[in-house]
Amino acid sequence: MATNTFPDAFLWGTATSSHQIEGNNVNNDWWEWEQEPGNIKNGDRSGAACDGWNRYAADYDLLRDLNQNAYRFSIEWSRVEPKEGQFDKAALDRYLDMLRQLRKRGIEPFVTLHHFTNPRWLAPRKYWVDDETPAAFERYAKAVVDHFGDEGPRFWMTFNEPMVLITMGYVLGQWLPKHRNFGEAGRVFLNLLEAHRRAYKVIKARHPQAQIGLANNMSPFQAYPGLDAGAAGAGGQGGAGRGSWLNRFAASLVNGTFNWPFLEALRTGRARIPVFGVNHYAPELKGTQDWVGLNYYTRGVIRFNPLHPVTSLVPQPPAPGVEQTSMGNEVYPAGIHQCLTELWAKFKPLPIYVTENGVSVPDDKRREAYILSHLAQVKRAIDEGIDIRGYFYWTSTDNFEWSEGYHQRFGIIEVDFATQARTVRPSGWVYGEIAKHNRLPG
């Protein structure tokens, strides 16, 4: 019989990334890109961000107060290796202290090795386009693993949203390097896979019991006009909407290009994205993940326009009257259930962690409603037999939201960036009560 209680030992946490919270990451590519006018909304720059590099212990106290037993954060490659081949012991010590401080508070660390940013010294080799970059990443991963030693985390993540990095930087050209080059996108895809494989091997060599995965962003892509709002609100499923055959084909193309290629390569050894001209078999990729990570925010409704074949693959804005976030995304709780169901069908018995799910809205009551509605769908999936072991809300503190700058507020903890003062939002206390009792209210 279904109840509101989650499985024993379920992990409740929040997720962050180094560049978005630490501040003053001056040696990475994003910092450099921020200095160019027009790249970041409102001319924002990350600057001090949340000053997380200095305030992490106090922030962890807040997480403990909110009853969190897990926390996802990333290591900044450009801090650890500010110059090629030269590693900063003080930075490594700081990250090691973060592990210690989390454990001291009873919080399980989830460590991400790469969350979008790269050291600037990779620029001459065009970052991930160059086939030598995976070896550089392997060297960095080994330095981190060796420095942590026996105190290394139980849970590792190699990459955050590799397909988002590729899509935004090399397909749509909205993030650095602002290219629209399918050939480069294909090279980056293969090199990220190779880097993942190498990092997996490095971690397992030192910690055979370590659990390694990555955060894969997914959206249910449906043909315009998509499922009706009533079905969405009720949590109904039904696959693609009853759009034209061209819209259905386009939605299927986006689904196959964006949602699955990275994970499928790790399952089958086949790295394949036809639109990028990639069809490569690498059997050594098979089995290089111990769990599956899902980042979920919204669905995507696709309306194809032959006159604009690339940009029309971007999801449509939400229909009039449909609830949307400050980012312009539709609030669609049923989608997280659909993604979890599809992941389980392909990857069971690997356990699943929701590694990101969150919302930027001006009204905190809507944030609370978003959390509750999406967790209800997660619980629904668990009740159907899907092995889901943790949920990480994005994010703990308001932060620097990439090209959106500081306008978007995702945090369950409000940050006054003028003073760095923290205030837990009511939605944070609601989430804290869920974590404390391991159950949904009601």
The Cα–Cα gap between 252 and 241 comes to 11
Q: Is the pLDDT of residue 212 over 90?
A: yes
Each residue of 68-97: pLDDT tens digit? 999 999 999 999 999 999 999 999 999 999
Q: Which amino acid is at 132?
A: E
Is residue 2 a part of any domain in this protein? no
Lowest mean pLDDT among 82-96, 150-164, 168-182, 226-240: 226-240
CB atoms within 10 A of CB 42: 8
Q: Contact at 8 Å (CB) between 295 and 217?
A: yes
Residue 6 belongs to some domain of the structure: no
Residue 159 backbone phi and psi in degrees, to 5: -135, 150
Whether 105 shows a pLDDT value over 90: the answer reads: yes
- Higher per-residue confidence, 368 vs 243: 368
Could you tell me the CATH number of the domain that includes residue 246? 3.20.20.80
Q: Are 313 and 372 in contact (CB under 8 A)?
A: no
Tens digit of each residue's pLDDT (9 = 90 or more) over 276-334: 999 999 999 999 999 999 999 999 999 988 888 877 888 999 989 999 999 999 999 99
41 within some domain = yes
Tokens in use for 357? Answer: 């799910």
The total number of structural domains that make up the chain: 1
Provide the pLDDT confidence category of residue 183 given band limits of 50, 70 and 90: very high
Q: Does position 438 have pLDDT exceeding 60, yes or no? A: yes
Kindly indicate the confidence band of residue 341, based on its pLDDT and cuts at 50, 70 and 90: very high
**What percent of the chain has pLDDT above 90?**
90
Identify the burial level of 282 via C-beta atoms within 10 angstroms of its C-beta, where 0-12 means exposed, 13-18 middle and 19 or more buried.
Answer: middle
Q: What is the pLDDT of residue 308?
A: 84
- Quote the longest CA-to-CA distance of the chain: 59
Mean pLDDT of 330-356: 98
- Quick check: is 3 in a domain? no
- DSSP letters spanning 353-392: EEEEE----S-HHHHHHHHHHHHHHHHHHHHTT--EEEEE
What local confidence, expressed as pLDDT, does residue 241 receive?
47
Radius of gyration, alpha carbons of the chain: 21
The verdict on residue 224 lying in a domain is yes
If you ran DSSP here, which 8-state letter would residue 256 be given? Answer: I
The answer to whether residue 337 scores a pLDDT higher than 80 is yes
Let me know how long the chain is.
442
In a domain, 442, yes or no: no
The pLDDT, as a whole number, for residue 42 is 96
Cα end-to-end span (Å), the chain? 16
- Judged against a pLDDT cut of 50, whether residue 110 lies above it is answered with yes
**Any domain includes 4:** no
Q: How confident is the model at residue 1 (pLDDT cuts 50, 70, 90)?
A: low
Q: What is the pLDDT of residues 226-269, one digit of tens each?
A: 865 434 443 333 344 456 889 999 999 999 999 999 999 999 99
pTM of this prediction? 0.95
Whether 364 is covered by a domain: the verdict is yes
Its domain, for residue 257, covers 11-437
Buried b (16+ CB within 10 A) or exposed e, 111-146: bbbbbbbbbbbbeeeebbbbeebbebbbebbbbbbe
